[in-house]
Structures are given as C-alpha cells and as structure tokens.
Amino acid sequence: MASHEPTNDSSATRWWHSAVGYEVYLRSFSDGDGDGIGDLAGLIHRLDHLSALGVDLVWITPFYPSPMVDFGYDVADYTDVHPLYGDLEQFDQLVAAAHQRGIRIVADIVPNHSSDQHPWFVDALTGPDAAHRDYYIWADPSADGGPPNNWVSYFGGPAWTLDAASGQYYLHLFLPRQPDINWSNPAVLDAFDDVLRFWLDRGIDGFRIDVAQALAKDRRLRSNPEISPWNPNGTRFEQWDAFDHRFDVLQPEGPDIFRRWHALVEPYDALLLGETHVTDPSMLAELVPGDGLHVGFWFDPMGIEWSADAVRSTLRGPLAAMSDPRLLGWVAASHDDVRPPTRFGGGDSGRTRSLVFSTLLFGLPGLPFLYQGEELGLLEGFVPIERRADPIAQSRDGCRTPMPWEPGKNFGFSTADRTWLPDGGRDDTDTASWQRSQPDSWFHRYRALVEVRKTEPGLASSDFRWIDDLDPDVVAYQRGDIVVVANLGPEPFPLGRIELGPMSVDFASPGTRAATMLFTTDATGGSTSIDPPVLAPDSATIYRVDPLSA
Ligand code: TEU
C-alpha cells in the first residue's frame, strides 16, 4: 500500500488517525473451503462487504499454526499460516486484495505466551540446560513445595504448572498449554524482531499485540498483595480481582519492549495496536506513552451499565489521561466479550443503545473499531452447552458464532453440514445481504456513521471539548464544527441553546445559526428531525454547526 512518509514526530498525522477499524474473528467470518471453519479464502471472498461498510483497517485474529487449545491464541509457529486457514500464498493474496480496496491488514501477534507445542517450549521441556529453557519463566517450588508465588491465571486457577521432570514450575497467565515467554531474555527480543520483520516484509500494515500489558514480569517474581481472600472456586474475574497486580502485569520495563518495536516498524509506516487490558486510565497512559504502542485499546466500555453517568465516565477518563487522545483505541465489542446489544438490554432496544454508544465513540479523537457483526446489530449468539467450544468456564462462544451472510444453509457462512460453532440462532433479517438491501437497516446506519467519521473534516480536528450541563441524561461534545449529542435517558430531550466555547448555537431558533444533521441513530429521522429538534430517548445525533467563527 502506498505509504506516507514515515516520521518520528509524535504530533504528525498518521494514517490510522483518520481510520475506522474492524475486527475479523477469522474462524467465524467466512468459510472458503467448506470445512465449517472460517479461513483466509473466505475473508478474501467477503472483502467487498468491508469496502461497502467503509472500514479501512482490518485486524485479523491469529491464523498461525496452533493446536487450537485457545483457538489460535496458542501459537506453535509465528511465521506460517495454519493449514485450516490457508497458506502463506493466500495470505499474500489477502494483503494484495485488501490493498486494492484501500483496506489495510493488521495481524494479531501473541507475544506473551506461545503454545506448549512451539519448538521453543518443546526444547525447554527437555531440561534446565536446554537452549530455549530461558525463553520461558521457570522457578523452583516455594518452601512448602507449592507454586513459587501467588500469581493466578487470567483464566482462573494458579498461574504455575509443575514440570515433574525438572521439579520446576513454569508460568502461564492463561492456560497451562500457553506458557509465558520470558521477555527479560535478550534472545527473545531478537527472535520477535525477526517475526515482526517477516510479516512487515510480506506487506502487513501493523500488529494487534495480544495481552500487551503483561509481557514484562517482576524479575524477582514477588507475590502480589492479596486484596481479598482468593477463592479458587470463584469466577476467573473474581479470582483475578482478589489481587493487586503489582508484580505480574504493567511492569515498568513493558513500554521499553514497544519502544524497540516502534523503531522497527516506523520505516514500514506500520501500526502497533495494543490489546491493553488495564483497569485505570492512568495505567493506560503509562503503557501507551506515545513512543511505543501507537494505539492502546480502552476496554472499560465492555463492562458498563446503560446510564449517562457510566458512559460519560468511561469516555472522559482515558481522554483526560492520555498525553495525546489519538493514542486511544475505542471498542464496544470483541471476540472475548458479550455483544453490546445484549449487554445493553437485548432486542431492538439493546441494538439501538449499541448504535448510540458507537455514535459517541466514532466522533471522538482516537481509533474506533467495530467487531464483525456489530454492523448488523447482532445479539449474542445462542450456543447450547453441548456445542460449547471455549476452553474456559465463562464461555466466550456466544460472541464468536458464525457471521450470517445470507438466508439459507448456515446463513452463507459455510457449505459444511456442521460448522465449528452453531449459527447462534440468527434469522434472515440478521444477514448482511438482507440488511444491505434495506435502506434503514443496522448495516446502513453503521455504514452512514463510518462515512461521517471519515469524511467530515471537523472529526479530524484536535479542537475537542465536552459540552456539560445540558441534562444529566445527555452526553455531548464538540469537535471542530461538529456537535455530537446523545440522550440516554427515558424522556425526550429538546435541543435548545448550546454554548460552544466562545460561540453558541440555538437549535430552537435555526435562523440564528444553522445546524445540519449529518447522522441520527433514529432510522426514520422521526422525532429527531422536527423543528425545534427533540432527541428521542436512547438516540444520538451528529450535527455540523455552521459557521462556528464569529
Ligand atoms: O485476551 C486477553 C485477556 O486479557 C482477556 O482474556 C481478558 O481477560 C478478557 O477479555 C476480559 O474480559 C486475549 C485474547 O483476546 C483472547 O481471546 C485470548 O484467549 C487471550 O488473549 C490469550 O491469548
């Protein structure tokens, strides 16, 4: 893809500053070879859907050789393609086909841990003198013979597994079959430099970095302070939250790894996008200071309730904390979390709320993302217990059911008789083809939102301010000449006079200063377009105010 002049000037405009991202969960996107599992050929076949939606950056979940214990997040070879998904040649075809459409491809890299089948770990297991022993994190048992410290896995249970042959434990912040890699070993840094270069030289446009908060660990492997008694039978979240994670994640050496990667990827003009799971905006600011990761995801929105206060605080916190708001990646959905229309109450009401939330995200500085199916308003898929595939107890299968493409067998996802996960209980109106034929479908509303984001010069402006005090149920902000207003309350909200920095706009007397409605979540325009405008409950509107200068 034609690249801009690479630069180290942190204030410069980079291609991702005006981009809209899209996550493809490859196994469930589109099956090209009829084995019931999504693959690269299927993705190539569906690129036109992504062009029609207007996204310009596609992050693809891991496609590497893997025993698939965690569906590819357990990598056995960082520089090849799993035969289930295709081969390197098809990968090259994908990059070329995407670039032809002006879409950039971002690969998911999983550096915190490998599969236990990775040749490094297979070698490490042969004993303490193995060449790759120090590629992983080993420790002797504690005095009582148990694990070396009290760290727990993100998936629940202790983060240590005993290797009986050597009498040492190895660390795994995820499954026992996902041993953590030792990032304090310089050989590991060199090895991953080669991995990054391998894909960059094949034309990749960036990397989404899995578990970016956790690569560096405390060198002394100190136990974490316990906040509340650890209950090994609690949910994985309860177990994790029992500790103050002072020593296992967010170590001060972490950003140095990404500074090194930053220098490596800059000549390629490639993006480093961190999966940065943190609980506090200040932690995100430390992990993404600007000279390492280019963008870090803020995941707090995945857990909020539907209220103006919750929405306000999840958006305002990170914007206030980051040294540059363009370092923020905005997501409402992912392959790990319950789909937002379901979280926000289900049905069309939940779908509407999800679009209202996305509308707020899409006007903000930072890089907004959609997760496959979000543009179709998909609810969480239903997966009967006997069809569950996720290895962890709080199953993530419901957000991973296959994309519904068109009415008919498997909703067009696959020609196989049995797909790896069931269809989730979709109907014809959920499908991409049906929605593309209906002008007021969810697809067309998301498409319109993407278009506004990409085409309105005001939404590239660094001039951003919150508009406070309109109403406790209303969340609003101004960016350049754009005003975004969302009503999250149960009552209609009539728009009146709004102070915009030194200027003001009075929606109640349009004659005084004109405002053009660019987008509304209300498909019909209905209550949002009457004069004077009234924001319906659970709706959001984007206006351009003209002119803003005196
Ligand atoms: O997820 C990392 C991670 O921290 C999440 O599991 C997190 O605990 C959860 O989303 C909180 O809701 C990444 C991948 O996205 C996930 O699919 C993998 O299973 C995991 O890493 C291990 O590689």
Q: What is the pLDDT of residues 456-514, one digit of tens each?
A: 999 999 999 999 989 999 999 999 999 999 999 999 999 988 888 777 888 887 665 67
Per-residue confidence (pLDDT) for residue 497, from 0 to 100: 87
- Does 527 or 311 have the greater pLDDT score? 311
Q: Which of 404, 436, 454 delimits the end of a domain?
A: 454
Indicate whether 539 belongs to any domain.
yes
Measure CA 49 to chain center. Answer: 20
Q: Are residues 25 and 83 in the same domain?
A: yes
pLDDT confidence bin for 6, thresholds 50/70/90: very low
Per-residue confidence (pLDDT) for residue 457, from 0 to 100: 95
Decide: 174 in ligand 1 pocket, CB within 6 A.
yes
Q: For residue 47, give both structure tokens.
A: 């690129």
Per-residue confidence (pLDDT) for residue 334, from 0 to 100: 98
Least-confidence region, from 8-12, 380-384, 388-392: 8-12
Quote the ligand 1 centre to 152 CA distance (angstroms).
14
Q: Are residues 367 and 431 in the same domain?
A: yes
Quote the ligand 1 centre to 73 CA distance (angstroms).
9
Q: Are residues 300 and 424 in the same domain?
A: yes
Q: Which of 394, 420, 454 delimits the end of a domain?
A: 454
Backbone torsions φ then ψ of 513, nearest 5 degrees: -155, 125
Q: What is the pLDDT of residues 332-388, one digit of tens each?
A: 999 999 999 999 999 999 999 999 999 999 999 999 999 999 999 999 999 999 999
Indicate whether 334 belongs to any domain.
yes
**Which residue shows structure tokens 């920095």?**
501
Q: What is the pLDDT of residues 29-57, one digit of tens each?
A: 999 999 999 999 999 999 999 999 999 99
Distance, CA of 329 to CA of 365 (rounded, Å)? 9
Decide: 210 in ligand 1 pocket, CB within 6 A.
yes
Q: Which residues make Cβ contacts (< 8 Å) with residue 530, sequence separation at least 6?
A: none
Q: What is the 3-state secondary structure (H, E, C) of 298-320?
A: ECHHHHCCCCHHHHHHHHHHHHH
Decide: 277 in ligand 1 pocket, CB within 6 A.
yes
Q: Are residues 301 and 162 in the same domain?
A: no
Average pLDDT score, the chain: 94
Q: For residue 76, give both structure tokens.
A: 């056995």
Q: What is the pLDDT of residues 243-276, one digit of tens each?
A: 999 999 999 999 999 999 999 999 999 999 999 9
Q: For residue 428, give both structure tokens.
A: 């014809």
Q: Are residues 492 and 369 in the same domain?
A: no
Would you call 269 a catalytic residue per the annotation?
no
Percent of the chain past pLDDT 70, that is, above it, reads: 95
Residues 427-438 have a mean pLDDT of 98
Q: Are residues 348 and 444 in the same domain?
A: yes
Rg (CA), the chain: 24
Q: Are residues 276 and 396 in the same domain?
A: yes
pLDDT above 60: residue 329: yes
Q: Are residues 209 and 333 in the same domain?
A: yes
Q: Are residues 164 and 275 in the same domain?
A: no
- Work out which ligand 1 atom sits closest to the CA atom of 154: 8
pLDDT confidence bin for 526, thresholds 50/70/90: very low
Per-residue confidence (pLDDT) for residue 2, from 0 to 100: 45
Catalytic residue selected from 23, 180, 218, 275? 275
Domain count, the chain: 3
139: domain CATH number? 3.90.400.10
Q: Which of 431, 454, 477 delimits the end of a domain?
A: 454
Q: Are residues 423 and 478 in the same domain?
A: no
Helix axes 186-201, 254-265, angle to 10 degrees: 30
State the DSSP string of 486-503: EE-SSS-EE--EEEETTE
State the DSSP string of 234-291: S-HHHHHHTB--TTTSS-TTHHHHHHHHHHHHGGGT-EEEE----SSHHHHHHH--SS
Q: Residues 414, 498: contact at Cβ < 8 Å?
A: no
DSSP 181: B
23: domain CATH number? 3.20.20.80
DSSP 225: P
Quote the ligand 1 centre to 486 CA distance (angstroms).
31
Parallel, antiparallel or unpaired: strands 367-371 and 328-330: parallel
Per-residue confidence (pLDDT) for residue 528, from 0 to 100: 46
Indicate whether 34 belongs to any domain.
yes
Q: Are residues 347 and 427 in the same domain?
A: yes
Q: What is the pLDDT of residues 172-198, one digit of tens each?
A: 999 999 999 999 999 999 999 999 999
Domain housing 438: 15-111+186-216+251-454
Would you call 193 a catalytic residue per the annotation?
no
511: domain CATH number? 2.60.40.1180
Parallel, antiparallel or unpaired: strands 514-520 and 497-500: unpaired
Nearest CA to ligand 1 atom 14: 210
Distance, CA of 193 to CA of 229 (rounded, Å)? 41
Residues 312-318 have a mean pLDDT of 98
Global pTM reads 0.96
Q: What is the pLDDT of residues 54-77, one digit of tens each?
A: 999 999 999 999 999 999 999 999
Indicate whether 75 belongs to any domain.
yes
Within a 13 Å sphere around the CA of 133, how many CA atoms are in the beta-carbon half?
Answer: 12
85-94 contact pairs (CB < 8 A, 24+): 85/26, 85/37, 85/38, 85/39, 85/40, 86/32, 86/39, 86/40, 86/41, 88/202, 90/40, 90/41, 90/44, 91/40, 91/63, 91/202, 92/202, 92/203, 93/40, 93/44, 94/40, 94/43, 94/44
Per-residue confidence (pLDDT) for residue 547, from 0 to 100: 62
Q: What is the 3-state secondary structure (H, E, C) of 130-164?
A: CCCHHHECEECCCCCCCCCCCCECCCCCECEEEEC
Quote the ligand 1 centre to 277 CA distance (angstroms).
9
Indicate whether 518 belongs to any domain.
yes
Nearest CA to ligand 1 atom 11: 336
Q: Are residues 513 and 450 in the same domain?
A: no
Indicate whether 73 belongs to any domain.
yes
Indicate whether 232 belongs to any domain.
no
Indicate whether 74 belongs to any domain.
yes
Distance, CA of 72 to CA of 400 (rounded, Å)? 13
Q: For residue 14, give both structure tokens.
A: 């980079």
